[in-house]
Structure 1
Amino acid sequence: MKPACRQMIDLLAAVSDDQLADPTPCTEYGLGDLVEHIDEVARGFTGIARKDGGEQATAVRGPDLAGGPRADVAKRVQVLGESWDDPEAWRGTTDGPGVELPNELWGKIALTELVVHGWDVAQSIGRDVELPDDTLKACLDHVAEFVPNAPIPELWGDAVQVPPGASRLDRILAITGRNPFR
């Protein structure tokens, strides 16, 4: 989780105010909206990890989208990574938005959010995503099994065909409905 969090923190720091209205590969969000969604993801999944409903994660509430680097959101992303370092975070079950899942699965969903939306942000600001192979392997193993059978399938777009030899990141993106081959 932490490498994906570090990547997201670096990307958030690179977003400028004049880019907030830019489109993203996540067609339902402009870049500013996507930053707000990442903030919600960080707060929500920190709450799941800490089993506290997100109270501690909301101490620095609401992204400052007009103040240069997205420091508040980045802080919450850092807390997210730290929260899932605790082995207890991965145990038990938690009722999320309309579905109760094992925390181990919630953690994998959080990782997927960071990896996929990290790529969305990177594409919007002209950056590359660089994640360790073990992070990408964990995410790919998750999405390959979970996304086709997801309890809320409309959260992802239709899968995109991948050419032979596609990278792990490209396969993750394709399974979740992104087209990294454009």
Structure 2
Amino acid sequence: MNDTMTFGLGPQARILTDLVAGVRDEQRADATPCENCAVRNLLGHLSGLVVAFRDAGRKDLGVTTGTSPDAAVPDIGPDWRQRLPEALAGLAEAWRDPAAWTGMTRAGGVDPPGAVAAAVLADELVVHGWDLARATGQEYAPTRPRWGRRTASSSTPPRTPTASTASSAPSSRCRTTPPCSTGRWDRADGTRAGSRRPPGTGSGPGPGNVLSGPCP
């Protein structure tokens, strides 16, 4: 069989874990860069997203991967300080498995290829890390995913989703305007919108959108 390149999600998952640990209880009702989304809702969205993509990587498809992010306003449970870090660790572990990158999977109620799901996931982790850091006054230095070892799949790296594939990738309920400092986004319907984005995120799929130009 041929090979394809993968990239590691562990470093960004660890950064998010540290950000979650830095959230103070009194900050849970504070506003975030996501419209109509308090810190507690952003944490709830992250929790559902992380669990869904963890199970998508494991190909453990069911309720967690089949629920649309628009099904309900996300919120956090009483044990979020324990469960979210555990889910982030499980997410990183799941996507270290070469099998996660091959074939099809399911997340957010749609069925993208494994490599496309990984690209969407990488962008979600970076963007929502920025959201959480901005909302809670924490320092933030996201990591850019680096191509790693080859796995049994195809001869080319998984391509970044375009407008034609963005509609088959999970979208984020918590965001109406992707945070981008430069560049433009192509929405799934082919239209474009300027946006703000944290530096260092590079190009790639956004929550329901695809970035057409790189960010510094």
Normalising by structure 1, we get a TM-score of 0.72
Q: Indicate which of 120, 139, 142 corresponds to 1:131.
A: 142
RMSD of the TM alignment (CA)? 3.6
Give aligned pairs, total: 163
Are 2:125 and 1:110 equivalent residues in the alignment?
no
The 5 A counterparts of 1:151-166 are 151=167, 155=172, 157=176, 162=182
| Gap regions ≥5 residues in structure 2 | 1-8, 66-74, 148-157, 184-197, 212-216
Note if contact 1:63-1:72 (Cα within 8 Å) is conserved in structure 2.
no
Task: Flag structure 1 segments of 5+ consecutive residues without an equivalent.
Answer: 178-182
- Counterpart of 1:49 in 2: which secondary structure? helix
After the TM superposition, which residues 1-182 of structure 1 pair with which residues of structure 2 at under 5 Å, given as runs?
1-53=9-61, 63-65=76-78, 70-132=81-143, 134-135=144-145, 146=161, 148-149=163-164, 150-151=166-167, 155=172, 157=176, 162=182, 167-169=199-201
Following superposition, the deviation at residue 71 of structure 1 comes to 2.1
Q: What is the letter of the counterpart of residue 73 of structure 1?
A: L
Describe the superposition over 1:23-75 as per-residue Cα deviations: whole angstroms up to 9, x where unpaired: 11111421001101111011100111001126899xxxx9544x6x7221111
Q: 1:125 to 1:162 in 2, by over 3 A?
A: same
Q: Please say if residues 105 and 113 of structure 2, whose CA atoms lie closer than 8 Å, have aligned partners that are also in contact.
A: yes
* Identical aligned residues as a percent: 27
Separation in structure 2 between the aligned mates of residue 171 and residue 105 of structure 1, nearest angstrom = 14
With a CA cutoff of 8 Å and minimum separation of 6, indicate the structure with the bigger relative contact order: 2
Structure 2 Cα separation of the partners of residues 97 and 87 of structure 1: 21
After superposition, the C-alpha distances for 1:116-155 in whole angstroms (9 at most, x for unaligned) are 00000000111122133x4289xxxx99x53655216975
Normalized per residue, the structure richer in helix is: 1
Q: Is the 8 A contact 1:26 1:120 kept in 2?
A: yes
Q: Quote how far apart the aligned CAs of 1:158 are.
A: 5.2
TM-score normalised to structure 2 length: 0.62
Assess if the C-alpha contact under 8 Å between 1:162 and 1:171 holds in 2: no
Higher strand share: 2
Q: Secondary structure at the match of 1:93?
A: coil
Q: Aligned partners of 1:17 and 1:71: how far apart in 2?
A: 14
| Distance in 1 (alpha carbons) for counterparts of 2:136 and 2:123 | 20
SS in 1 for 2:37: coil
